[in-house]
Amino acid sequence: MSLEHTIQLPKRKVPSWSALRNALADRGIESALRMIDGLPALPDEEPPEEWRELRVGFAAGMVTLRREGDTLRCLIWGNADFALQAAWHTLAEVCQRVLDGS
Name which residue leads in pLDDT, 79 or 58.
58
- pLDDT tens digits along 66-91: 999 999 999 999 889 999 999 999 99
Residues 51, 80 contacting (CB under 8 angstroms): no
Structural domain total, the chain: 1
* pLDDT class of 13 with cuts at 50, 70, 90: confident
Mean pLDDT calculated for residue range 20-36: 96
Q: Taking each helix axis as running N to C, give the angle between helix 82-100 and helix 17-26, from 0 to 180 degrees, rounded to the nearest 10.
A: 120
Q: How many residues does the chain have?
A: 102
Strand-pairing partners, residue 77, are: 2
Range of the domain at 49: 2-100
Which segments of the chain are extended strands (E)? 2-8, 32-36, 39-40, 53-58, 61-68, 71-77
Q: Say if CB 54 and CB 36 are below 8 A apart.
A: yes
pTM: 0.92
CATH number (domain holding residue 22): 3.30.310
Identify the pLDDT of residue 102: 66
